[in-house]
A = this chain, B = another copy of it.
Amino acid sequence: RLYRIASIPGDGIGTETTDAAVQVLEKLAEVSGKFAFEWDHVDWNSKTYREIGSYIPPGGIERLKKSDAIFFGACGWPDIPDHISLWSLILPLRHRLNQYVNVRPTRILRGTSSPLSSCVADPSALDWVIVRENSEGEYAGQGGTTHAGTPLAVGTEVAIFTRPGIERVMRFAFDTAAGRPRKLLTMVTKSNAQRHGMVLWDAVYDEVRAEYPDVAADRMLVDAMTCRMVLRPRSLDTIVATNLHADILSDLAAALAGSIGIAPSSNLDPTRENPSMFEPIHGSAPDIAGKGVANPVGAFWSAAEMVRWLGQGEAADRLMEAVENAAAKGARTKDLGGQSGTKEVTDAVCKELEGM
């Protein structure tokens, strides 16, 4: 089976971790013998923006639609305001490719450790999947500024929650929970203080919940949820939340599991009409870019999720096994308390794959 993958390394360490992921994926294909990759190397990044004034050139979305999946590195550079780079690349891709869920698994990989004492004692206590609404809500993009540049300036951010938009991600979350051993879902909003769209989330949750009698579901406010994650990690399994809330909670989850450098994300179009997109949750990290020290594990885990989405579950498990073996044997970057560089970790993972 041949998979056509569009890879968009982007900026900064995105290029380093994407290179590493491509190398590891090639090795995975080789050792599995069941599939191969054909790469479309897409060079949209902040350099392109400086040159042609946009990240995505005309026809860009159509080009991506020809692929089976997209692998994304990171995007943004200090000379371009972040809201411009993100709204010119990653956010339009999520929106235009109908990638309405963003899935973020978090657990404590072998060879890494959690800053929480409770999880040092028992790493299995933290094993979560965060399902993030990825197409609307606080990132709908509406709002504006009145009296800009004057002492009276007023800026608004308009979060838009549509019933179909909520329903589809809610069903996805219940399906995800139903497919996991504990069948546990926690739905997060801030409907006490935000009483319009957030209350609609609660209402849709109540309805969809009735369709899934085997899933044990409960509700939390986003502020209280951070406490539960820190103090009672084992009480959680699948989590569903809005675009902004889940963005915050998933970074927190990654930190509680040890490092943002290991965390993966999948931007999915569950209808499979468009290619889905896989990206580590780390950013372009200008401070460490070009030094060969970026942690490639977030990219590897994202690559594993991509391979799983493409139907190669066994190969995905194999890749994660290799990543964990390598980490357990000491191939760890600085953020995980180790001393290896990107290349050493990548080579160690390839070696594990070969030896399996």
B-binding residues in A (CB < 8 A): 76, 81-87, 91, 115-118, 120, 138-139, 141, 143-145, 147, 150-164, 190-201, 222-224, 226-227, 229-231, 244, 247-248, 250-252, 254-256, 259-260, 283
Task: Kindly list chain B residues whose C-beta atoms are within 8 Å of the C-beta of A162.
Answer: 152-154
**Distance between Cα atoms of A152 and B254 in the complex (Å):** 35
Q: Is the beta-carbon distance between B163 and A152 smaller than 8 angstroms?
A: yes
Known contacts A251-B227, A252-B226, A252-B230: A197-B159 contact under CB 8 Å:
no
Q: Is the beta-carbon distance between B139 and A87 smaller than 8 angstroms?
A: no
Q: List 25 A-B contacts (CB under 8 A).
A: A82-B191, A82-B192, A83-B193, A85-B192, A87-B195, A115-B117, A116-B116, A138-B193, A139-B193, A141-B195, A150-B163, A152-B162, A155-B160, A155-B161, A155-B198, A155-B199, A156-B161, A157-B196, A190-B244, A223-B247, A223-B248, A224-B251, A227-B252, A227-B260, A229-B255
Task: Kindly list chain B residues whose C-beta atoms are within 8 Å of the C-beta of A164.
Answer: 151-152
Chain B min CB distance to A88 (Å): 11
Task: Find the residue from A143, A247, A248 having the highest chain B CB count within 10 A.
Answer: A248
Which residue of chain B has the shortest Cβ distance to A162 in the bound complex?
Answer: B154
Which residue of chain B has the shortest Cβ distance to A227 in the bound complex?
Answer: B255
**Distance between Cα atoms of A82 and B192 in the complex (Å):** 5
Task: Kindly list chain B residues whose C-beta atoms are within 8 Å of the C-beta of A84.
Answer: 195
Task: Kindly list chain B residues whose C-beta atoms are within 8 Å of the C-beta of A226.
Answer: 226, 248, 251-252, 255
**Distance between Cα atoms of A91 and B252 in the complex (Å):** 27
Task: Find the residue from A91, A138, A150 having the highest chain B CB count within 10 A.
Answer: A138
Task: Kindly list chain B residues whose C-beta atoms are within 8 Å of the C-beta of A255.
Answer: 226-227, 229-231
Q: Is the beta-carbon distance between B196 and A144 smaller than 8 angstroms?
A: yes
Task: Kindly list chain B residues whose C-beta atoms are within 8 Å of the C-beta of A144.
Answer: 196
Q: Is the beta-carbon distance between A192 and B230 smaller than 8 angstroms?
A: no
Q: Is the beta-carbon distance between B160 and A154 smaller than 8 angstroms?
A: yes
Task: Kindly list chain B residues whose C-beta atoms are within 8 Å of the C-beta of A163.
Answer: 147, 150-154
Task: Find the residue from A224, A230, A254 having the highest chain B CB count within 10 A.
Answer: A230
Q: Is the beta-carbon distance between B117 and A157 smaller than 8 angstroms?
A: no
Task: Kindly list chain B residues whose C-beta atoms are within 8 Å of the C-beta of A138.
Answer: 157, 190, 193-194
